[in-house]
Structure 1
C-alpha cells in the first residue's frame, strides 16, 4: 500500500459570488464556490428574495423600507416626495436662523411638498405666484427638487400614495402568509399591495410565486411580466442606484434582484425559450443598477461565449472593475487567468505568476477560500519570484481548512502526517483527511484509505479503507485504482459485506 502523499492539485472550479439568492438558492452567491467549471457562468447565480428570513418570521423593517421606497425623496418612483428643504428639519440651520432672527423671513424655507399640500405651500409662504415660491410653472416642480422630473399630477399621485400608505397593512400580511406557507393568500395580498401602492417587493414576490407555482399555476411568462414591472419602474440613475458594499454583498435592491432573476430565466430556459443573449443583457442591467459582481458574470460570459462572442479583453476589463469594487470572486478569477488555471485558458493572457499570486492574496484577504488555498499552494511550491515558503503556506492552509475548504484540509493533513513545519500528529491528519473526504476530495479519500488500512491515527478498518479507496477511484484517482485490487485481496467475508453496505447504503423504508 502506498503511503500518504501530497495532494494531486486539481484545477479549481470557477467561483460565483456572492451573488449571493435567486429563488432561495443560497447566497452562497454560494459564498464563493460554484459547481460550474471555471470560466462558465453559474446558471444558479442567486440573490436573496426579499421577505425570507431564517427565524420564520417577517422582519417589520422590510415593510417599513418598502414604504420608504414608495415615498422617500431618495427614490425616483416617489417623485421626490417631501423633497423641498425646510429649516424646521435641520437643527443646526434652525439654530443659526434663530441666532440671526431670520425665522420670520419667508425666504428661510423653500417650497414643501406633502400629502396635505401636494402642489406646494406657496400661499403659506406668502408668495403671490408659483414662480415666487420657487415653482417651475412649466413642470410644477420646485426649483430645488432633486431627482428626475415629475409633473404636478405625478406629485399629487405620490401624495395620495402617502395618504394610503399610512394605514396600509397589505405587504406585512402578504409576507406573514408567505412565511406560513399560505401561498394563495400571500399572492392575493401581494397583488393588493401592488395595486394600492406599487410596492416593488410585492411585484418581485409575485414573480417568484408564479415562477415556482406557489399559490397559482406555474407560469414563467407571468413571472417575467411581474419582473418587468420592477425593472421598468421610474428610475433615477443617481438616487436609485445601488451602492455595493463588498462586506455585505447580499444587501441589494429589488431592481438588481429582478434583473438577475430575469437573466437566470433566460439562461436556463425555465418555462421560456432559452436566450443567452437576453441573460447577458440582464447581467449588464444588474451592473448598471450598481451590483458590481454582475461584472464577474459578464466576464465569465465573454470567456465562455455565453450570449456574446468570446473575447478576453472585455472579460479582463469587467473583472478588474469588479475586483476594484471589492468582489472577491473577480480577484480570484484574475488570479486564475494569470496563473493559467482555467480549463479553457483564453489566448491573450500571459502567464504571470507574480500577478496571479497578488490577485489570489487580495481575494484571500476578502475571504475567498479557494483563493486562500491557491495562494497557499503557490507559496508551498515556490511558484513566482520567491522560494518555497511552507511556513507561510501552512498558515493559509489552516485558515481555509478551518472554514471548510476540502483542498486545504487535505494539504494541511499531509503536513501533520509527515511532521513537516508542524509536529507530527497522525490523529489530526486522519481527522483532516476524513473532513476533506466527506467533501468529495479524491486525494483525501485515498489518503484516508491508506491510514485506515494501516491503522494510523486510529483503529485499522479494512472495510472502510476499501470503501474510501473505491470512491476515490470512481473520481478518477490513479493511485486509488492501482491500490484497490491489493486492498480487496485483504478483505475477509465480513469486511467485504460491510464495505458493500457502505458503498450501497440500504434504501430507507417509506
Structure 2
C-alpha cells in the first residue's frame, strides 16, 4: 500500500504519522479492489481530502465496493464541491437538475455550475449557456448564454461550438455574423457533431459566411445524415437539384473510401447508375450516390464516369 508521510509537531519534538491517501485508493481501484479503494478513500476523505471525497461519492453512487446509496454519494460530492473540486461541483449540479435530491432544483444547480464555469469547466459553461438561453433556473439572457457557449467552444467543446454558431447565424445574444457562424460550425463539424454538419451544409447552400457551393452543401448534409441527422436527409434533396448527375461508364465499378486504389471499396456501381460529382483531382472524383435510398460519399476514377 502506498502511503504518505505527514510531520506533526508535538511539545517534545517531531513525530511522524502515516496515513492512507488518494493515490493509494487509485492503485486499489485500478487493480479492481473496490472495497480496498473505498477504505483508502474513506480515511482520506474523512481527513478532508477533496479528491477522495469525490471518488468516494462515485463509489456510493455506482455501488462499487460499497452498498449503493445516493444519499451517501451526495454527502461526499457536496463535501468535495465545498472543497473546490470542480468535477464534484458539476456532479452536484447534475443531481439537482435530475430532481433526485429533495428540495433542490435548477436554481441550486445554477449556483454550482457558475462556480465550475468560472473555473474553466467547459461542460459547465455549456450547460449554463443552455439554461440562460431557455431561462431555466436563471433569468433568460441570450447574451450571457452566448458568452458561456463561446467560453466552452474556445476549449473545443463541439456542442457549444454548434450553439454559438447558431447564435451568430441568427443574431441572438450577439451581433449577427455569418462568418463567425461558419467558423464555429466548421470546428464542430470536423469533430463529428451532426447538427453542426447540417448547419454548415446550410451555410454552403445559402452562401452565408462562405461562397455558395452546393457540392460542399451535399458533402456536409450527407455526412450529417450518415451521423444520424434526419433533417440533413431532406436538405440533400434540395442541394442535389442544383447539381448535375453523371452516369457510371464502366460495367462494374468500385466506389472507394478515398482517392486511390489503396483505399478500401465501399460498394460497386454498375453501368448507367447515377452519381453526382462533388469534386475532382489527380484522376479521381468524389461522388455522392445512394444505396437502397441511403446517402453515401465515395471516390471513383474519373475515367469511369460520363
Same topology, TM > 0.5? yes
**Residue of structure 1 aligned with 2:30, choices 264, 271, 287:** 264
In the other structure, the counterpart of 2:286 is: 498
In the other structure, the counterpart of 1:434 is: 186
In 1: Cα distance, 2:120 partner to 2:167 partner: 23
3-state SS of 2:278 partner: helix
**Structure 2 counterparts to residues 73-472 of structure 1, below 5 A:** 75=5, 144-148=12-16, 235-237=17-19, 256-266=22-32, 275-284=33-42, 287=45, 291-340=49-98, 347-350=100-103, 352-384=105-137, 386=139, 388-472=140-224
Q: 1:449 to 1:321 in 2, by over 3 A?
A: same
Is the CA contact 1:259–1:286 (under 8 Å) kept in the aligned structure 2?
A: no
3-state SS of 1:495 partner: strand
In 2: Cα distance, 1:411 partner to 1:376 partner: 9
Q: 1:477 to 1:307 in 2, by over 3 A?
A: farther
Q: How far is the alpha carbon of 1:454 from its aligned partner?
A: 2.5
3-state SS of 2:13 partner: coil
Q: Deviations over 1:186-229 (max 9, x none)?
A: xxxxxxxxxxxxxxxxxxxxxxxxxxxxxxxxxxxxxxxxxxxx
Q: Deviations over 1:124-149 (max 9, x none)?
A: xxxxxxxxxxxxxxxxxx9622224x
Flag the structure with more relative contact order, 1 or 2, with Cα contacts below 8 A and sequence separation at least 6: 1
In 1: Cα distance, 2:86 partner to 2:299 partner: 39
Q: How far is the alpha carbon of 1:370 from its aligned partner?
A: 0.9
| Higher strand residue share | 2
Q: How far is the alpha carbon of 1:460 from its aligned partner?
A: 3.1
TM-score, scaled to structure 1: 0.44
In 2: Cα distance, 1:490 partner to 1:309 partner: 62
3-state SS of 2:210 partner: coil
Q: How far is the alpha carbon of 1:479 from its aligned partner?
A: 1.9
Q: How far is the alpha carbon of 1:364 from its aligned partner?
A: 0.9
Q: Deviations over 1:378-422 (max 9, x none)?
A: 111111253x11122222222222222222222211121112232
Larger Rg: 1
Q: 1:385 to 1:453 in 2, by over 3 A?
A: closer
Q: How far is the alpha carbon of 1:366 from its aligned partner?
A: 1.8
3-state SS of 2:31 partner: helix
Q: Deviations over 1:261-301 (max 9, x none)?
A: 331231xxxxxxxx544454454466467641232232233
Is the CA contact 1:466–1:499 (under 8 Å) kept in the aligned structure 2?
A: no
Q: How far is the alpha carbon of 1:322 from its aligned partner?
A: 0.5
In 2: Cα distance, 1:474 partner to 1:336 partner: 31
Q: Which runs of 5+ in 2 are unaligned?
A: 246-275, 280-284, 290-295, 301-306
Q: How far is the alpha carbon of 1:304 from its aligned partner?
A: 2.7
Q: How far is the alpha carbon of 1:442 from its aligned partner?
A: 2.5
Q: How far is the alpha carbon of 1:348 from its aligned partner?
A: 4.6
Count, aligned residues: 256
Is the CA contact 1:263–1:281 (under 8 Å) kept in the aligned structure 2?
A: no
In 2: Cα distance, 1:440 partner to 1:400 partner: 17
Q: Which runs of 5+ in 1 are unaligned?
A: 1-68, 85-141, 149-234, 242-254, 267-274
